[in-house]
Amino acid sequence: MGKTLRQSRSAAVLASISLVLAVSIPGAPRDSSPVKRILVLGDSLSGGFGLSPRQAYPALLTEKLREAGKFEITNASQTGGTTADGVQRLPAHLKRRVDIFILELGINDAFRGVPIPEIRSNLQRIIDLTKGRNPNVRIIIAGMHLPNYSADDYVFAFGQLYADLAAKNHAALIPYLLESIGGNPNLNQPDHIHPNAAGQMILAETVWRVLEPIARDLATGRGGSPEPPAGD
């Protein structure tokens, strides 16, 4: 992201973090209810750049999910990820059922000055692909804002596109993923861009506020996607 994007890309040995954590209810070994699957498609914010994968918020959510039901998280986030490469990376992760989809992409596009219509189109394509394979998937969109470099149309339009996409697709919205983290030196790494371990803990709480009611709803059997058909 930002001025560290080149370093991030060169550090792309982190490439695609596919962290799968199965979470089941303790003390209920006879529970035969199916595991619900959560897919996170994001960039370095969700991938936990500079940290252990287990310090990234998707892994931190597993403890909270343990109280809600039986869930499995796949963190398919990539350092330097853009909406365009998200479109390319997504199909490999749709070969298995997805019950909850957390979409966190776009800020790297904005730092590169990608036109807003192109960012919106790519994000919509990602949503359409996911729904095409999982008609009942519950979608959570992680909103992002650009620093207020200037009150220009691009900055406003970028912040607004997430709310517009959420409304159009009947998705849940995290208004601003970095709420209370962005610009706080105590919660970011020395690059002032990527959250540190403490910042990732706050990210987990921010996401959980939106994810919890959806997870609990699915755990009771209301909603969820059928297993996708075999094929590529």
Residues identified as active-site: 44, 191, 194
Residue with tokens 């298995």: 96
Give CA–CA dist 205/43, Å, rounded. Answer: 18
Cα–Cα dist 56/217, whole Å: 24
How do strand 138-142 and strand 100-104 relate by DSSP bridges? parallel
